[in-house]
Amino acid sequence: MKVLVTGGAGFIGSHLVDRLMEDGHEVRVLDDLSAGTLDNLKRWLNHERFEFIEGDMRDAETVENAIDGIEVVFHLAANPEVRIGSQSPELLYETNVLITYNLLNAMKDSGVKSLVFTSSSTVYGDAEIIPTPEDYAPLEPISVYGGAKLAAEALISGYAHTFDFKALIFRLANIIGERSNHGVIYDFINKLRRNPEELEILGDGTQRKSYLHVSDTVDGMLHIFEAFKKGNKRVDFYNLGNDDWITVKEIAEIVSEEMKLKPVFRFTGGVDGGRGWKGDVKFMRLSIEKAKKTGWKPKLDSYEAVRRTVRELLQTAKAEE
């Protein structure tokens, strides 16, 4: 395939690029390097099947140029920070909704056959059914980030049906692993490196969520995409997560153990009944039965994914010293 990966220099995007290149595809990456880095792509920069375009998707012309000659778009570009929504909702609109609109507008006049989009578990909000299936309703996000992801999903569905291309939408649990540069594990490691005696934990520590390692995520995306291509659905939705979940306090314990530290845990108490911040979904576990029916399942559970991620991030930090 001739593939465009938006956000391909970022955390999940770069792992996806690795797999696509290893599988022999022609890969073009469009990234403004605001959250990603060329270091994540260094092994491919001079490869004949690889092309990198540095550009901002808020500029429609940049997007139009990037999709020239492309068959499949993996749209991962986004501002990944859920917490920013309360301080800068306009930025989340621009870097999630507007860029998706620009991409769809460019696609409608091109030869792109398929779009794969990474949405988020945050579209479900405080779901009353856990594990939460794809057909859960009504979708009621409690963060601007979740609202922006849901708006992007709706635009994609409308454009796919109107302009005759296929769209596969993944609602992701918390994705973790090597190259991640935000999130609870990354924050805990940095806090403990600054002060090994004490660890501040946002919320009351009982927040419980499902975590999926990035290697399992990319496996799932590509496996399900192959099944989707053969099917007759115009638009389809799949959750990607794990069958289990883990509390923030348990994550803190694993990070401390792997760093060989015994810090005092200081809980902030949080907001709205112990959430880490305004808009934080306190309990999240997605049903992955639909994904498992395609033959995919995670190799690592949430606990194993967390421990492996801690080791990967510590190894990276050590190499950079």
- Give the residue numbers annotated as catalytic, written as ranges: 145
Q: Looking at the DSSP assignment, which residues form a beta bridge with residue 118? A: 170
> Which amino acid is residue 110, in one-letter code?
S
Q: Looking at the DSSP assignment, which residues form a beta bridge with residue 132? A: 286
Could you give the CA distance from residue 304 to residue 310 in angstroms, rounded to a whole number?
Answer: 10
**Sequence-ordered list of residues with C-beta below 8 angstroms from that of 242, at least 6 positions apart, any chain:** 173, 210, 211, 212, 285, 288, 298, 301, 302, 305
Give me the sign of the Cα torsion angle 3, 98, 78, 131.
negative
**Sequence-ordered list of residues with C-beta below 8 angstroms from that of 278, at least 6 positions apart, any chain:** 86, 143, 271, 272
